[in-house]
Chain A
Amino acid sequence: MQITIKLFAMLKNGRFDSAQRECPDNTTIQDILNGLAIPVSEAAIIFVNGRHANPEDDLHHADTVSIFPPIGGG
Chain B
Amino acid sequence: MDKILRIDMGADGGPKITETPLGDYAGLGGRAMTTTVVSREVPPLCHPLSAENKLVIAPGLLSGTIAAMSGRLSVGCKSPLTGGIKESNSGGQAAQVLARLGYAAIILEGKPKTDDIYKILIDKNGVKIVIDNSLKMLPNYDLVTKIRSEFGDKIACMSIGPAGEMMMNIASIACTDMELRPTRHAGRGGVGAVMGSKRVKAIVLDDSGMPMRTPKDPVKFKAANKVFTEGLLKHPVTGQALPAYGTNVLTNILNEAGGYPTNNFKEGRFAGAAKISGEAQAELEVKRGGLATHGCHRGCVIRCSGIYNDKDGHFLSKQPEYETVWSHGGHCGIDDLDSIAMLDFLDDNYGVDTIEMGVTIGVAMDAGLAKFGDAEAAINLVKEVGKGSPLGRILGSGAGVTGRVYGVERVPVVKNQAMPAYDPRAVKGIGVTYATSTMGADHTAGYCIATNILKVGGFVDPLKPEGQIELSRNLQIATAAIDSTGMCLFIAFAILDQPETFQALLDLLNSFYGLSLTGDSVVELGKKVLSTERDFNTRAGFTAMHDRLPRYFSTEPVAPHNVTFGVKDEDLDKVFAW
Residues of A participating in the B interface, judged by any CB pair closer than 8 Å: 6, 8-10, 12, 17, 44-45, 47, 49-52, 66, 68-74
Contacts and interface: CB of A to CB of B under 8 A. Distances in A.
Contact of A74 (B244, B459, B461, B489): B489
A12 B238 CA distance: 20
Given A9-B244, A47-B257, A73 B249 contact: yes
Contacts of A45: 253, 453-455
A70 B249 contact: no
Contacts of A50: 256-258, 560-561
Contacts of B247: 73-74
B interface, size bucket:
35 or more
A10 B240 contact: yes
Contact of A73 (B235, B248, B459, B462): B248
| Main secondary structure on B side of the interface with A | helix
Given A45-B453, A45-B455, A47-B257, A71 B249 contact: yes
A71 B241 contact: yes
A52 to B, nearest CB: 7
Nearest to A44: B455
Contact of B237 (A17, A51, A71): A71
A8 B237 CA distance: 14
B141 interface: no
Contacts of B252: 8-9, 68
B322 interface: yes
Interface of B: 235-238, 240-242, 244-250, 252-253, 256-258, 274, 278-279, 304, 322-323, 443-444, 447, 449-450, 453-456, 459, 461-463, 489-490, 493, 560-561
A73 B256 contact: no
Contacts of B244: 9-10
24 contacts: A8-B256, A8-B279, A9-B245, A9-B249, A9-B252, A9-B278, A44-B454, A44-B455, A45-B253, A45-B453, A47-B256, A50-B256, A52-B462, A68-B253, A70-B237, A70-B241, A71-B241, A71-B250, A72-B238, A73-B245, A73-B250, A73-B304, A74-B323, A74-B444
A33 B490 CA distance: 29
* Among B236, B456, B459, residue most surrounded by chain A Cβ atoms (within 10 Å): B236
A21 B252 CA distance: 21
Given A50-B560, A52-B459, A72 B450 contact: yes
Contacts of B249: 9, 71-73
B250 A74 contact: yes
Contacts of A17: 274
A52 B245 CA distance: 22
Given A50-B561, A52-B459, A69 B279 contact: no
A72 B493 contact: yes
Q: Which 6 A-B pairs have the closest CB atoms?
A: A73-B247, A72-B237, A70-B236, A71-B241, A73-B250, A50-B258
A45 B256 CA distance: 11
Contacts of B323: 74
Nearest to A66: B256
Contacts of B447: 74
A73 B453 contact: no
Given A8-B252, A9-B249, A45-B253, A73 B279 contact: no
Contacts of B278: 9, 73
Given A9-B245, A45-B453, A72-B493, A51 B238 contact: no
A8 B244 CA distance: 13
Nearest to A6: B256
A72 B279 contact: no
* Among B238, B246, B279, B304, residue most surrounded by chain A Cβ atoms (within 10 Å): B279
Contacts of A47: 256-257
A50 B246 CA distance: 23
